[in-house]
Amino acid sequence: MSRLSVELPGLTLKNPIMPASGCFGFGKEYSRFYDLSELGAIMIKATTKEPRFGNATPRVAETASGMLNAIGLQNPGLAHVMENELKWLEQFDVPLIANVAGSTVEDYIEVSEVISTAPNVKALELNISCPNVKHGGIAFGTDPAVARELTKRVKQVSSVPVYVKLSPNVSSIVEMAKACEEGGADGLTMINTLVGMRLDHKTGKPVIANRTGGLSGPAIKPVALRMVYEVSQVTSLPIIAMGGIQDEYDVIDFISAGASAAAVGTANFVDPLVCPSIIEKLDQLLQSWGIDHIHDLKGRSWNNAGEAAYHRA
Amino acid sequence: MIQQENMTIISHRSIAKDIYELILQGSLTKQMTSPGQFVHIRVTSGSDPLLRRPISICSIDQENGQFTMLYRVSGSGTRVLSEQAAGATVNVLGPLGNGFPVEYLTSGQKALLIGGGIGVPPLYELSKRLTERGIEVTHVLGFQQKDAVFYQDRFEELGKTHIATADGSHGTKGFVTDVIEKLSIEADAYFTCGPSPMLKAVEQSMPEVDGFISMEQRMGCGVGACLACVCQVQGDETGLAYKKVCTDGPVFQSGEVVV
């Protein structure tokens, strides 16, 4: 068995590295740089029931070691994604994690029910944490009771395991994680972006048309790491971690914090080849350290090392 | 296949207020075929500044495997770039996007090239290609003030060149559209690149002339994945149609997208 292969609910991963949702479209653009079958999985762009145009531009702004974005869930809608994007992706030997978004509970249920039947969709990622849309999104991800109920309802209709993408914009991410677990989630993905803003020095006005945006990139890694560390010790759910991952050392950190796999977001914009590069270097690094399997490093950071064995099960 | 390469700096110098000329050498130059395309530049291998900078290709020298880009220092990223000296390398991704259709006009026809500020550079390679094809080229170039003007002599070598400055410190006082109107310049097609208000004014001032407009927009990935740089399609009633400046553009036909 490869030292990088990982089994998670619904997902047999060649390696624990995948592009994060919203940073990779539906893969087409990056297939011009490398064979997408090299990836552990692909978290596809958030899909809603109807097509969405998204927000006005400017939609992005750079910040210190990071960026703000407010795309606004632009996507071609469920029917188009099913007929075109997912079909196109069938040529690759890679499991898909479908990011599902909506304005109402019914939207989530409808999209989840349909998209989970696609043969290459092996898991869902409930997007209850998008900070850039007026309705839905983060509204479902800041109230534990609402998140629990939504998870439960989606679980009833989904043909594949359900992961819930957590927002860091809450007072207790641990409470949110527990609520999703109670709702029957199969796993967690974390973290989505942190709400932030940037002003034009001269005019004093926000640079992004949406006024606020989601902060991503290396700037948020310490926050993400702390949250994975906290959540992984209080739930038995596997975690796919994201937040500022740029290289193999970042991946090791998140595994040490308690994650089972890692997703790369903003770094794809900086280096289109970052995912295959991390996969290769991660393998070499583990070999040079004499580590048989990446999960041997899982939860190394925890307070009570004895608990690690339990959580690894 | 899109490629990235660490290209070597051959020459790097300031040519006007805050404007730098950077000549890079590498095998990526071979891929650069169309004027109006851009490259996505990584200014540091570290994480601050994090994102790449989209910069248009100004001139291509296939013989020496070199290309020239001009950029304006306007923030931390371009500031870092401006400190790089000859011999150092710069990580270049590209060429990206669709350029100007040189073949749109034939020998003997007239082209009007309209540029504003840092939108002027891609018109230089375009002008070279058009004049090589026997097309009569007129340039109308707008700048803020005299010390911001660059490449005037180079454009003059290729065709008639009119300069406009906002404060009147060089050439005609006013906007490029003032010059076009005043001189009643006629053309079979226009090609333009510059700030959005200028593009809009140009498009509105010549509704009967075929035009090609190079759009500018903040970008994330530069390869079509992140949907940061979208623009709306003219006449679209659904509100859902869009084009990506990075991969569908940056050059669009007049009337195609909302400028």
Domain residue ranges in chain A: 6-304
Q: What is the CATH number of the domain that holds B168?
A: 3.40.50.80
Please tell me the distance in Å from B76's CA to the nearest CA on chain A: 10
- Distance CA(A13)–CA(A20), nearest Å, equals 15
In CATH, what number is assigned to the domain containing residue B30?
2.40.30.10
Q: Is A70 annotated as a binding residue?
A: yes
Q: Which of B:186-245 have CB within 8 Å of A?
A: 217-232, 239-240, 242
B44 in reach of chain A (CB within 8 A): no
Pair B66, B32 in one domain: yes
Q: Check whether residue B172 and residue B230 sit in a common domain.
A: no
Q: What is the pLDDT of residue A313?
A: 39
CATH architecture of residue range(s) A6-304: Alpha-Beta Barrel (3.20)
Is A66 in contact with B50 (Cβ distance < 8 A)?
yes
Closest CA to B176 of B130, B135, B117, B129: B117
Q: Which tokens hold the place of A122?
A: 């092996």
DSSP 8-state secondary structure symbol assigned to residue A166: P
Give the nearest chain B residue to A66 (CA atoms).
B50
Q: Kindly state whether residues B108 and B175 are assigned to the same domain.
A: yes
pLDDT tens figures, B214-257: 998 899 999 999 999 999 999 998 888 999 999 999 999 999 99
Closest residue in A to B43 (Cα–Cα): A270
In this complex, the residue of A33, A51, A270 whose CB is nearest that of residue B240 is A51
Residues B7-28 as b/e (b if ≥16 CB within 10 A, e otherwise) read: bbbbebeeebebbbbbbbbbeb
Residue A130 is among the residues annotated as catalytic for this protein: yes
* CATH number of the CATH domain containing B239: 2.10.240.10
- The whole-angstrom separation of Cα A43 and Cα A95 is 9
| CB-nearest partner of B51 from A25, A269, A273 | A269
Inter-chain contact B2–A57, Cβ cutoff 8 Å?
no
Segment B70-124, tens digit of pLDDT: 999 998 899 999 999 999 999 999 999 999 999 999 999 999 999 999 999 999 9
The DSSP letter of residue A85 is I
Residue B2 pLDDT more than 90?
no
> Is residue B72 part of an annotated ligand binding site?
yes
d(CA A60, CA B50): 13
B130 neighbors B107 (Cβ within 8 angstroms): no
Q: How far is A113 from chain B (nearest CA, A)?
A: 25
The pLDDT value given to residue A305:
57
Please tell me if residue A24 touches chain B, with a CB cutoff of 8 Å. Answer: yes
B183 and B170, same domain (yes or no): yes
Tell which B residues from 113 to 142 touch A, by Cβ distance under 8 Å: none
Which of residues B96, B112, B147 is at a domain's end? Answer: B96
What pLDDT, on the 0 to 100 scale, is given for residue A306? 53
Task: Consult the annotation and say whether A136 binds a ligand.
Answer: no
Percent of chain B with pLDDT over 70: 100
User: Domain check: are B80 and B130 in the same one?
Assistant: no
Do B87 and B110 share a domain, yes or no? no
Alpha carbon distance A35, B208 (integer Å): 46
In DSSP terms, A100 is beta-bridged to A47, A126
Count up the domains in chain B and report the number.
3
Domain that holds residue B223: 215-258
Q: How many residues would you count in chain B?
A: 259
A57/B227 touch (CB, cutoff 8 Å), yes or no: no
Backbone angles phi, psi at B243, to 5 degrees: -125, 150
H-helix segments, B94-242: 121-132, 152-158, 176-182, 196-205
Interchain proximity A30–B224, CB inside 8 Å? no
Region for residue B174 given its phi and psi (left: phi exceeds 0; alpha: psi -120 to 50; beta: otherwise): left
Instruction: Please report, rounded to a whole number, the percentage of residues in chain B having pLDDT higher than 90.
Output: 93
Non-local CB neighbours of B163 within 8 Å, separated by 6+ positions = B141, B142, B143, B149, B152, B170, B171, B172
Secondary structure class of A196 (helix, strand, coil): strand
State mean pLDDT over B126-138.
97
Q: How far apart are the first and last CA of chain B?
A: 30
Give the strand pairing for A121-127 and A213-216. Answer: unpaired
**Closest by Cα among B93, B34, B94 to B60:** B34
pLDDT means per 10 residues, chain A with 313 residues, are 94 98 97 97 97 94 96 96 98 98 94 98 94 74 93 98 97 97 98 97 96 97 98 97 98 98 98 98 97 97 64 44
A205 marked among binding-site residues: no
- DSSP class of A143: -
Q: Is the ipTM of this complex over 0.90?
A: yes
Report DSSP state, residue A190. Answer: E
A115 sits in which H/E element? helix A105-115
Residue A136 Cα distances to A1, A132, A193, angstroms: 42, 10, 16
Asked if B56 and B88 sit in the same domain, the reply is: yes
